[in-house]
Structure 1
């Protein structure tokens, strides 16, 4: 916390102030532990924990709501984003159940939106959604995040206006991927530019492909999957034919036509897994799922394993539910009436959820069970009790 405050240049203006930046940051996170309480009540509840951290003087009186609000404005939008950047790391250990496909750590990318107070400033910064011909009741911020599937931990995120599409917000996140990770994504995230950027990190990909995208069959493999070429949609005619021929000969890496004018790949070899999901919509029909993956060799992962790994992507929805239902509460909007404070509040939200996933996963690993078997609600109750001053009182 101190390092983030120093990095963002928002050190305390007064040496004797009881709301220096690091205390304000902890109080802002405390708002997510106690969403039913106002600023002053949250401050009363968490000062015991802050005293144990050595950043609160027990002789101080709790700050007023107005004092906390002004301190949050001084803190700005960047400190808690920097804290998240420093602490958000993969949580699953080698023994964490449900977090791996063989040696790959399974991740997902997806987005959600969140209602913010209807103020002039928030409306200008975030905008409204439009359904049924009219604007939404509240402005909405959009968040796109990387999630570790087995633990539901958020690992990286981008926050923007509602009008900014998920594909746009996702692009900076691909640089966060690492070799040994397998990123799953729904069909709304696929574009050649996104695939190219994500694959360049050395991570492996397992993405659903939209029905309208042509996937030429280069070679049918023994397990029923097939090889295809993903390429920039601007490539047509003879150049496209030459790229396909090079892919069939396994010389795509040395094909001049597969390089764009900036010296970067304009085509990638991929493996396709296609399967039906019976009666998915409940009307008696089946749905075709078409996945593309960078895992070319069937010996490394079979089609059944890849299909199962893709459906781990739904663990991201569990992470979203932990944010929206358990931490925020259904139907609620954020507290912050200014855009800087909205950003600050969202990063505090993600930090608390990440901290909870760490606690849950450590407990699950110790008990040799899947983290899904530990109740987020019960764990949150324990965290709330330990964060209050009463937890520090000796028996």
Structure 2
């Protein structure tokens, strides 16, 4: 991010040179996202579309501040000799003009590119390791959002706030979010997971929670011949026929349910997987199913170790909800389009922080997950505002060097007693 975001925010000029955004979030990506969605701004405004994109991303970095404060403190509006501030109505109208589509396009462009950067440093025997998981977010309780999004229903009551349900595909090594799909709460995680299948990179292993156990997902991932693999816990009622192998490491065959084949006629009648039995520290048995059937190249211990890293990406949701969104009860936005815009901006902002952490870790050869997200996030907040206030363009190289050095100093403390399934 911050090579370029800080540089942009620190400059004080009537017409910012957007090409200075550089390698992390280049001007071309923002322009491409705007042109994809027909939102490129021709009329000169104090808040043209490019500036509003940055405002939406910045709102996720400064959830504790009002929208007006973020705009003023980071000096995101273009200068105007006659008017020294931008009204609340003008900010709201600018966000409405922009909509959610450009933020989605920008997230998809940047997420794919950033996960690809430096991926060779984190491969597992030639495979990139991803994890898929789901979460929910609460929104303001308006009739429009309740009708569109729905809410969790209990036995006698419905939840107080409408909710968004989402699924993300996350790079396990860096915690960068590669892809995301979200929408109304009353749609299942399986549906959103299916939307992400096409985006899963080739030569990869994806770890799934058992809630995603579906022939449509697992066969849909592996049958296209692009060396995309899965590892997932078997359900208690999963049935199979043993084809070969020894106790604890079997090749099994399962029948695709008639319902799944009616919904997806292209699915095979039978599909195969490798079943590996795992005993945890409490002697509880779990069976992992994987499409990596080559025992010589991928040992049972390798598969178990890869799946053991899946739980780590659940912390991504905690980092976004608690650290970035400040444990806020709901998202800021009061409209459906605004909610989607806010979520795409939050995902991009989260990735910007994670990317800077990954770059800092790579420089000193430590794991990105060894750096404390909370402390790194607070440090980046401070550096961005400091650069905007002081106009420290000449000091930016030293500022960025210090930023990355300090990020590396924020290593997480080891907590060996922690255990996650």
TM-score calculated relative to the size of structure 1: 0.84
Say whether 1:225 aligns with 2:224.
no
In the alignment, structure 2 segments of 5+ residues that lack a partner are: 1-29, 396-421
SS of the residue aligned with 2:378? helix
Correspondence 1:20 to 2:17 = no
Is 327-336 or 357-366 further displaced after alignment? 327-336
> Does the 8 Å contact 2:171/2:178 carry over to 1?
yes
Please show how residues 355-370 of structure 1 align to structure 2 within 5 Å. 355-370=352-367
The CA RMSD measured in Å over matched residues stands at: 2.3
| 1:1-395 → structure 2 map (5 Å cutoff) | 1-12=30-41, 14-15=43-44, 17-47=45-75, 50=76, 56-57=78-79, 61-89=84-112, 90=115, 93=118, 96=121, 99-131=122-154, 133-201=156-224, 202=226, 203-221=228-246, 224-234=248-258, 265-279=268-282, 286-388=283-385, 389-393=388-392
Instruction: Go from structure 1 to structure 2 and tell me whether the alpha carbon gap of 1:91 and 1:381 turns closer, same or farther (over 3 Å shift).
Output: farther
TM-score with structure 2 setting the length:
0.79
Q: Closer, same or farther in 2 for the Cα pair 1:230/1:64, shift >3 Å?
A: farther
Q: Determine if contact 1:95/1:365 at 8 Å carries over to the other structure.
A: no
Deviation at residue 123 of structure 1 after TM alignment: 0.6
Partners of 1:289 and 1:307 in 2: how far apart? 10
Alignment partners' CA distance in 2, 1:91 and 1:386: 27
For the 8 Å contact 1:38–1:65, the answer to whether it is kept is no
Relative distance call for 1:275 and 1:261 in structure 2 (3 A) is: closer
Distance in structure 2 (CA, Å) of the matches to 1:311 and 1:130: 33
8 Å contact 1:39–1:64 — kept in the other structure?
no
Deviation at 1:321, TM superposition (A): 1.5
SS at match of 2:166: strand
**Contact 2:233–2:289, Cα closer than 8 Å, also in 1:** yes
Is the Cα–Cα contact under 8 Å of residues 134 and 167 in structure 2 kept in the other structure?
Answer: yes
Residues 234 and 383 (structure 1), Cα distance of their counterparts in 2 relative to 1, 3 Å cut: same
1:349 CA drift (Å)? 0.5
Q: Distance in 2 between matches of 1:117 and 1:158?
A: 20
- Misfit runs of 4+, over 4 Å: 260-264
Contact 1:271 1:292 in 2 (8 A): yes
Query: Aligned equivalents of 1:302 and 1:44: distance in 2?
Result: 56
Offset at 1:276?
2.1
